[in-house]
Structure 1
Amino acid sequence: MMQQKPLTKRRVLGIVFVILGGALGITAFPEFWRVVHLELVTYLNNGITNAVLGAIIFYLLFLVLANPMLRAMRQLEKALFKQSPSFLLFGSVFSLIGLLLANVVSIPLYRMPIFVLNTVVPILLMIALGYLGFKVGTTRLDEWRKFLQPKKRNADVLERKVDDNFRKYKILDTSVIIDGRIKEIAKTGFIEGTLMVPNFVLHELQLISDSADNLKRARGRRGLDILNELQKDESLSVEMYDGDFEDLTEVDGKLVKLAKLLDGIVVTNDYNLNKVCEFQNVPVFNINQLANTLKPAVLPGEAMTVTVVKAGTERQQGVAYLEDGTMIVVEDGQHYLNKPLDVIVTSALQTAAGRMIFAKPAHQQKGLNEK
């Protein structure tokens, strides 16, 4: 018993070419025989001969075009696999609408006796309107989703209008998702509106989670876990942005452009992205700046107890840390390594990297006061 060969992509494409060639041969060859004055030769001008000739011609075309077409199909598959289900759904639906419209417009043309009008023009219309439908469906995904979502009762009353004091979309970058604090901040209600995760940020997270470096891989997977937790939390409004900006390669540039497009706010921990947003007048939330702002104020003369954990760089300094991570530089602190020490704050310095406190041992300050 002969083993049946599997239907490969190449074989299926060849069958499609042969069937299409046969169908076009039946349609086009009668006109060809008429032009060359052979329409009365019955063994040439008949359905079977026309179909066979059309199939042979298209099979020869297939032999020439097969490899380029298969390469194009593989590239198309890779591009489609990267897209979200909503991108594919809206693209397919609107493409079908475009094809249906092309068929409706072509109904009068099908009755024309001229081959170009009854065959070529309808095909061109299908290609043009199908492509137009695909572009309409995939370039305005957010608007279509909002249009199809049922409006909640009193939505018009509860929905805040976008103005200088409120912007609906808070666009998350990779660093803030990996950091994870955004989830707890959003749950407290301090961040209003919708958390938006662009598809290109998700793609960057996937690349990091697939990294050969163990630390990067762990950070990427943590980011994906945080993202899943955000989506599962019903108390939070989280949306994906499926579009992309193919003219830009850097994720930071895409985030800035998206924020301008949606009149949103970029949420980040990245110092450089923060500066780029400020330079381009794009609103930005920096979680690290928020954390530094929320640290309790420390005033000169305030007393506290710390543990010096390492030596400093100058004047036998010692370095200690508060529970929130604030670094304290203690003068002459090297003599008290790994011991609790009462200190008096002398000054505090706020930098872009955080806050730094300078202090002296309390007994030294007390001695100076007694003198």
Structure 2
Amino acid sequence: METKDIVLLAVVLLILAELSYLLAKLPKTSIKSKSRAIFVDTSVLMDGRITGIARTGFIGGTLIVPRSVIGELQFLADNADADKRTRARHGLDIVTELQNMEDVDIEILQDGSKAEEGVDDRLLTLAKRHQGCILTLDYNLNKVAVVEGISVLNINELAQGLRMSYLPGEQMLIELTQKGQDSHQAVGYLPDGTMVVVEQSSSLIGQQVLVEVVRSLQTAAGKMMFAKRVAETKSPVQRKKSTTQNAQKSKGTSRTTASRKSVSESTEPEDNVPRTKRSRTQIKSVYHAVPKQTSENKSTASEPSVRRVSRRRKDHEASLIALVDNQKD
């Protein structure tokens, strides 16, 4: 092979390499992946929970982020209020985080940096064109997509489906089947297999009891709940009544004790008081202890003396009459 042919071949290979590089850098206006296309809305990126779902492998398709969605995030990050600016910047960070995940298939679709008809309408058009679905948290977009016959993935509905059947404070009727880890605990199960540990119920195994959920735990092995019997709890009204009664009882006891103490202090002499002061104190206590005579008592006490005076007067009058009679004779 001559030198001229070798140079010509090298030039051709260089041109092909440059063309392939330019083609790779051109904006992607079509979706290469053959799996289900999931078009991501702005609300999902600003929310941020998509990273946790993608990390667990429950996406089940290719995440398609249109350039118009990124343009809306950029607009909000520059011109919105402080709260929306922070959330929009967080949404841009979420896009970068999804791109760095090895197990997540994500593409940026170059549909233009600005959607003149609106981002929601652009997402509906792209979903129809590529026969994909929309991942959103927007309630209105969800309703419109359902009317248009487009599949919708809503993270709020997913969270609602994964929430606990019973929240703390709710009551339920459950059958206790076995003992718990502690001697005072009993264990029952919900229809979905959730374990419920009931405190202070080991003697009620085999019975149905009404319990109130105290707290719940979600682990990789499953979920479990802790509850207590409703019969052991008192209503706020009963607690208030019992507290009032106890206060009244304690108040009455304190009054009785104080009265007894005052009586004992008034009757018993004090050892530390001098003899002269003690006698005066005793005299005063005796004086105050003796009840004062009322008018009725005075009248009752003076009746014998009045009778005696009247008798003496009568005897004296009789003697005077007898003396006068003797003088006449």
Greater relative contact order, per chain length (Cα 8 Å cut-off, separation 6+): 2
TM-score (norm 2): 0.43
TM-score (norm 1): 0.39
